[in-house]
Chain A
Amino acid sequence: MTNLLFLIPAALFLGLLGLGAFLWSLKADQYDDLDGEAERILHDDPI
């Protein structure tokens, strides 16, 4: 049962990492224009 002492904090840490990454990407306006971003990859010139 001692491995729980590592595994639970590790699971929580990874979960928090994911949550933090999502909140950061949300704040950085990455979900602002989903249609536009999908099209931009087709543009020739680098933007």
Chain B
Amino acid sequence: MTVALPLGAEELRLATHREADGGARLRLAVPGMNCGGCVAKIESVVRAIPGIADARANLTRKSLTVGWQGAQTDEAALVAALRGAGFDAFPLDAEETDVLDGAERRDLVTRMAVAGFASANVMLLSVSVWAGADDATRDLLHWISALIAIPAVAYAGRPFFASALRALRAGRLNMDAPISLAVILAVAVSLAEVLRGGADAYFDAAVMLLFLLLIGRWLDRTMRDQARSAARALGRMVPRGAWILDDTGAQQYRAAQDVCPGDTVLLRAGERLPVDGVVLSGTGTVDAALVTGESLPVPVTTGMVLDAGILSLDAILTVEATRTGEDTSLAEITRLCAAAEDRKSRLARLADKAASIYAPVVHLVALATFLGWIATGASARDGLLAAVAVLIVTCPCALGLAAPMAQAVASGALFRRGIMLKDGAALERLALVDRVVFDKTGVLTRGALSIMNAEALSDDVLRRATSLAAHSTHPLARSLVTLGETRGLSPLPVDDVREVPGEGLIGKIAGCAMRLGSAAHCGQPDMPSRPGPACCYVEDDAEPVAIHFEDGLRSDAPDVVAALGAAGLKLSLLSGDRAETVARVGGYLGIGEALPNLRPEDKIARVEAWQARGEAVLMVGDGINDAPALSAATVSMAPSSGSDIGRTASDLVFTGENLSAVLNAWRIARRTRRIILQNFALAAGYNAIAIPVAALGYAGPLVAAIAMSSSSLLVTLNALRLSGRTA
């Protein structure tokens, strides 16, 4: 059960950006903004607040920028107003804002525009040359082409030159090396041709190559930024600060990194603990689902050790901070994730593998062409021209577009199915998976408690019970309210409501006293027990009603697990929950290998053991305790309802109630891989024809331009096939 963090005014104030002229700006993520109507509603709600000067919602990024003058505006009232209108809002920090603004993406678009302008104009001039301009006219057109192309190449080619240089310095060859060489050589040879009044200039090929490749690069970038910002905007689970009680009993709000060991932290109902600590006082229950995978609320006792990230359901606790900041269990998990990420980043991408074969071959063929021409007695100029034609005609742009184009189209197809992809390379890894590892709580199960004996409850009893339950944030009460809503029962007014932490609720409806809570709370200690959590509802002298809950499986979990098994994938279940629950779920779904009581270190060790045997592992998990294993796994998926650290560690994030996202993503990944390989085959086939033609000197600038654009077009059209059919 993931309850969104209620935001304190203090936390919002930390996120507000003050400007020199006394103005203030606050950027909020509003995950629920899905339609044009939402935009209008959000903006009108915020503008109605006195003092707000400006509010602008961004539907693409699901964000809202609010500006006001002076200090009198209450940030918390702003968020409360949004929540009142049905939208949760979270402040965005500087790093998130950077991703949203997409500085790098904008830089690529600028370069793309310059390359596009240059290639259109140079092509216009080149067409005149091909059409038969000669002598002085040809020279003039070539000179103008050179004046446009050289600055354009110098500017638009920078990302490729820089990346090629970085790779060369590290002793590797990437795709950008042959691209850079082809562009620079083409421009240099063309310039030499122009200077001596020759006929062959490749300025058009050089700028068009850059233009097409920048499109590929920009697609790749956009896809990554989009998924990343969407994943981040889902909501944050770990608070940035805590209330500290000092010796005099005064309360003070401090940022999480300023909390010291020994401080007394006050944790109220509905808040998450930002540090590790020991309970000093207070009773009630906490939700550890995201921290340990434990699906049921845990009762708290004095002296109990709590990890950072635990959510207090109904307890008001004072906790002595034992480990803070970099020492918390949460920070330790972040470090485990970073280490695992580091190992994973060494896995080569398909495009890089293709480049590592392609680059040396092309360079050798170009060199051989040059030497061959010299050996047969031709001039160095003719040899160089043929070599440049080889470099350009071998369609590096088809190769450069082959993978990003397919991945961008696949990412769009996934996005429409509610799956966000953070990195195109993850799709390549997903296609090769041998084993799927599930976490239980929140992945196979919904992570929300549902009522087992719903049919046994009459509408009347349920209406009274839910009216009382509406006054609590406890997950059992919440799921009662949800059941009441699905049955269309409107709540009754309740008087004298009181919540006894860790026990239950007391209240009156029309003078009739009633209690909802634990068996003891209702005075029924001998209530019939069933496995799983239960609560009891009793009014005055009437017969008590027992309500049983379970953490229900996602409705399509059996089908998805069966389909993955039928496809020949090995299945495992790694859970931090108790043995009997895990065994029951594993048995029901037919997952043979179901291991309970695992800590984060155990999960990562299991995953790495499988990988050591040469298996590619897909990990599907949601909790903080899954995060290291998610990072270590070959590829990983998390539901959007999971912990933010789990989502950050995952390559794919899926929204919605359906586990079929896992199956869909896997199928799309396999189709994408097929398309990418087809694209590489197309490019290779092209080269098989184009290289001999170019090496023998039959490929002039016109042939090069046609070869390049048609191969790019073919690869793009092939990639577009991914968007059509449903998975």
Contact = CB atoms under 8 A, between A and B. Distances in A.
Contacts of B37: 39
A39 B35 CA distance: 8
Contacts of B144: 8, 12
B110 A4 contact: no
B77 interface: no
A39 B60 contact: no
Contacts of B109: 26, 31
A1 B148 CA distance: 21
Interface stretch (B113-121, B169-177, B182-190, B702-710): B113-121
B58 A18 contact: no
Contacts of A38: 36
Given A22-B113, A43-B40, A36 B57 contact: yes
B10 interface: no
B58 A23 contact: no
A47 B40 CA distance: 10
B114 A19 contact: yes
A45 B36 CA distance: 13
A15 B117 contact: yes
A36 B39 contact: yes
Nearest to A38: B36
Contacts of B57: 36
A1 B121 contact: no
Interface in B104-146: 106, 109-110, 113-114, 117, 120-121, 124-125, 137, 140, 144
Contact of B59 (A12, A26, A35): A35
B59 A47 contact: no
B96 interface: no
Interface in A20-37: 22-23, 26, 31-36
B117 A26 contact: no
Majority-rule SS of A interface residues: helix
Contact of A40 (B36, B61, B124, B137): B36
Given A12-B121, A22-B113, A26-B109, A36 B60 contact: yes
B140 A26 contact: no
Contacts of A33: 58-61
B393 to A, nearest CB: 27
B60 A32 contact: yes
A4 B137 contact: yes
B211 to A, nearest CB: 13
Contacts of A35: 59-60
A11 B144 CA distance: 12
Interface in B47-78: 57-61
B43 interface: yes
B121 A11 contact: yes
A36 B109 CA distance: 20
Nearest to A36: B59
A18 B140 CA distance: 24
A16 B68 CA distance: 39
30 contacts: A8-B125, A8-B144, A11-B121, A15-B117, A15-B120, A15-B121, A19-B113, A19-B114, A23-B113, A26-B110, A26-B113, A31-B109, A32-B60, A32-B61, A33-B59, A33-B60, A33-B61, A34-B60, A35-B59, A36-B39, A38-B36, A39-B35, A39-B36, A39-B37, A39-B39, A40-B36, A40-B39, A43-B40, A45-B40, A47-B43
Given A38-B36, A39-B37, 19 more contacts: A8-B144, A11-B124, A12-B121, A19-B114, A31-B109, A32-B58, A32-B60, A33-B58, A33-B59, A33-B61, A34-B60, A35-B60, A36-B36, A36-B39, A36-B58, A36-B59, A43-B36, A43-B39, A47-B43
Interface of A: 1, 4, 8, 11-12, 15-16, 18-19, 22-23, 26, 31-36, 38-40, 42-43, 45, 47
Interface of B: 35-37, 39-40, 43, 57-61, 106, 109-110, 113-114, 117, 120-121, 124-125, 137, 140, 144, 148
5 nearest A-B pairs in the assembled complex, by CB-CB distance: A39-B36, A36-B59, A19-B117, A33-B58, A35-B59
